[in-house]
Structure 1
Amino acid sequence: MNILFVLLPLGLVLLAIAVIAFFWAVGNGQYDDLDSPAWRILLDDESKPPKDPKDSP
């Protein structure tokens, strides 16, 4: 029963830290653009031709 007096405040402190971190991330724009990184991997960048034909594999 005595362990509850330690674990309950510790859990509440960790919850408060998580909530503060979440609101800090939202305030700094971490969640502004969620779609672009997912689409960026699907789009192929055009590869540039090598400058010297000897350098190409």
Structure 2
Amino acid sequence: MDILFLLIPVSVILALSFVVVFYWALKEGQFEDLDRPGRAILDDDDG
């Protein structure tokens, strides 16, 4: 039962860190253009 005093705060800190990283990625525009990198490999760049 004593391990719960360690595991609960660790899991809360871990969950909050995931939320912070997700919002940081949203703010930095990581999810703005999801289609262009997938199509970039199909473009013919042979000049």
TM-score, normalising length from structure 2?
A: 0.89
> How far is the alpha carbon of 1:42 from its aligned partner?
1.5
Work out whether 1:14 is the aligned partner of 2:14.
Answer: yes
Runs ≥4 residues deviating over 4 A: none
Higher-Rg structure is 1
CA distance in 1, matches of 2:44, 2:5: 56
Aligned residues: 47
Any gaps of 5 or more consecutive residues in structure 1?
48-57
Alpha-carbon RMSD across the aligned residues, in angstroms, is 0.9
1:44 deviates by 2.0
Q: RCO greater where, 1 or 2, for CA within 8 Å and sep 6 or more?
A: 2
Give 5+ residue unaligned stretches, structure 2.
Answer: none
Q: TM-score, normalised by structure 1?
A: 0.75
Percent identical pairs in the alignment equals 45
Structure showing the higher helix proportion among its residues: 2
